[in-house]
Every structure is written in structure tokens, then in C-alpha cells.
Amino acid sequence: MSKRKRKVVKIFNLFCYLKFWCMRVSNIAVFCGSKSGANPVYETEAAVLGKLMAEKKLTIVYGGGNKGMMGAVANASIDQGGKVIGVIPKVLLEWEAQHDGITELRVVEDMHVRKKTMYELCDAAIVLAGGNGTLDELFEMLTWNNLNIHNKKIVLLNTAGFYQHLIAHIDTMASEGFLYDNWRKRLIVCDTAQAAIDALV
């Protein structure tokens, strides 16, 4: 390779490096339950997160529902003038009662398209308390990260210790030799909404 070509490659690599580190997180996928859960603090913390995201001018990308944790985070952001994009599959329009008061609601064909769309729209993700669907979304994003399909940060919001058993199980997977590296480098665990935001912006 000529001296000039090496210089061009060096400048290009520097540009890519700076572009990566200067890229601001602006759209955050929020994965959470469509139910409120037994402990009121789950929904309260979801509302705190929505408010903080609106104040930081961060766009919420979420499942598009108006009930439970989904409704709490979306409504709190909208009440503060925030931007909220919902992505909901046709099959869940009645089940999750789509939110008609958000900035934008995208109706997609199925659950697979929903996850893909949310992934494409977001720069990072925060996972709140939820059920099977929330865990599905968490582990798919985490798996993609592990395979280097993306390098988007993922935050696990461990409100009131909700995810302590899951964290313990992931530690067990690591200690039993089923993980390839330190999972805590790929999944950031935070106890509060404020800490989750601070980890991303």
C-alpha cells in the first residue's frame, strides 16, 4: 500500500472512530410490561423514566400500548411534551389497547417485525419490569449484541430488586461456562430511572 493510501485509510479510520464516539443517543427503546405489576413502585418508576426522558429530549420507542407499565412511561413523557413512538403488531391492537395520544403509532404485521422495527429505530434500550414478552425482547437484543450484530447499550432497570433472580441466573450461566465473556459489559444493571438515563447520556 502506498504512503498516500495509508494516510487516506488512517484518516478514514479516525473519522469512523470519532463518528462512533460522538454519536448521541437520542432514541431509546423501552421494553416493559403491559400490566402494572403487584408492586406500585414499578409503575411509579416507569413514570419517572418517561418524565426524565422528556426532559432530556430523548424519544421513547416502545410497544405502543396505553395500559400498565407501557401506559405509565408513555403518558409521563407526553405530559412533559416528550416524543413517543409506539410500535404494535396487528394481533395486539385489542389486547394491549393501542395508545392514541402518542406522537406516532406504527402498526406492523407481527411480533417479529415489531422487535426489528424497535431495534432499527433505537440507539439504546432500557428494560423495565415485565413478563414473557419483555424477557424475549431483552434476550434477543442481548444475543444480537453478543454476536456483534449491534453495539447498542442495554440497561436493565432493576426496580425494587425485580430482576435479582434473573441476574443470579445469568451469573450461574457464566459460572457454569455457558457465556463467552463478562455479561456485565453488555448489560448495564441500574436500580433507578435516573441511573439508567445517566448510563446512556
Q: Taking each helix axis as running N to C, give the angle between helix 193-200 and helix 40-55, from 0 to 180 degrees, rounded to the nearest 10.
A: 40
The pTM of this model reads 0.87
3-state secondary structure string, the chain?
CCHHHHHHHHHHHHHHHHHHHHCCCCEEEEECCCCCCCCHHHHHHHHHHHHHHHHCCCEEEECCECCHHHHHHHHHHHHCCCCEEEEEEHHHCCCCCECCCCCEEEEECCHHHHHHHHHHHCCEEEECCCCHHHHHHHHHHHHHHHCCCCCCEEEEECHHHCCHHHHHHHHHHHHCCCCCCCHHHCCEEECCHHHHHHHHC
Is residue 10 in a domain? no
Return the CATH number at 101.
3.40.50.450
Is residue 14 in a domain? no
Range of 54's domain? 24-200
Is residue 16 in a domain? no
Contact 199, 190 (CB under 8 A): yes
105: its cell numbers = 403509532
Domains of the chain: total = 1
Q: Which residues pair with 155 in a beta bridge?
A: 126, 188
For residues 119 and 28, give the distance between their C-alpha atoms in angstroms, rounded to a whole number.
Answer: 9
Our measurement of the distance from residue 139's CA atom to the centroid of its chain's CA atoms, rounded to an integer in Å, reads 11
Is residue 12 in a domain? no
Is residue 129 in a domain? yes
Is residue 7 in a domain? no
Residue 4's pLDDT is what?
A: 66
Residue 9's pLDDT is what?
A: 47
* The one-letter amino acid at 201: V
Is residue 8 in a domain? no
Is residue 65 in a domain? yes
Q: What is the pLDDT along the chain (201 residues), one digit of tens a residue?
A: 666 656 544 554 444 444 444 458 999 999 999 999 999 999 999 999 999 999 999 999 999 999 999 999 999 999 999 999 999 999 888 776 899 999 999 999 999 999 999 999 999 999 999 999 999 999 999 999 888 888 899 999 999 999 999 999 999 999 999 999 999 999 999 999 999 999 999
Task: Indicate left, alpha or beta for 64 from its phi (over 0: left) and psi (-120 to 50: alpha).
Answer: left
- Cα-Cα end-to-end distance for the chain: 40
